[in-house]
Amino acid sequence: MAKNVLVIEDEPNIIEAISFILSRDGWRVATHSNGVDAVSAVQSRRPDLVILDVMLPGRSGYDILRDLRAAAETADLPVLMLTARGQTKDREMAQTLGASRFMSKPFSNAEVLEAVNDLVRP
């Protein structure tokens, strides 16, 4: 059975790269590119995993993650956070808010595949 991932990212080249890597590996990929209604997109699509960018138009990935963790239906949803700023404070903030994994841009295709498959393993 195919696994579903929702990629919440606003950079078209990153969306394209992640979509290509994951769909080639058997994932069904949906994308969303703004922070304003990202939480409702997650709730309506019910993915097995979310890949969430930190810097989004309208709302930060940290705020979105905080809301996802606060809602019962998404509290345990695996979330892979992406950021162009891989500083320690960014990583610590993501961990504090409940990110399942944190990855800095640029990343390799192999890193993304390994992370998503680790996060949804039964």
pLDDT of residue 121: 84
Other C-beta atoms within 10 Å of 111: how many? Answer: 14
Q: What is the pLDDT of residue 73?
A: 95
Where are the chain's structural domains?
Answer: 4-120
Topology (CATH level 3) of domain 4-120: Rossmann fold (3.40.50)
Within the chain, what is the greatest distance between any pair of CA atoms?
Answer: 38
Q: For the chain, what's the residue count?
A: 122
pLDDT in tens, the chain (122 residues): 779 999 999 999 999 999 999 999 999 999 999 999 999 999 999 999 999 999 999 999 999 999 999 999 999 999 999 998 778 899 999 999 999 999 999 999 999 999 999 999 87
Does this model's pTM top 0.85? My answer is: yes
Instruction: Round to whole Å and give the CA distance between 59 and 56.
Output: 6
Residue 12's pLDDT is what? 97
Contact 80, 100 (CB under 8 A): yes
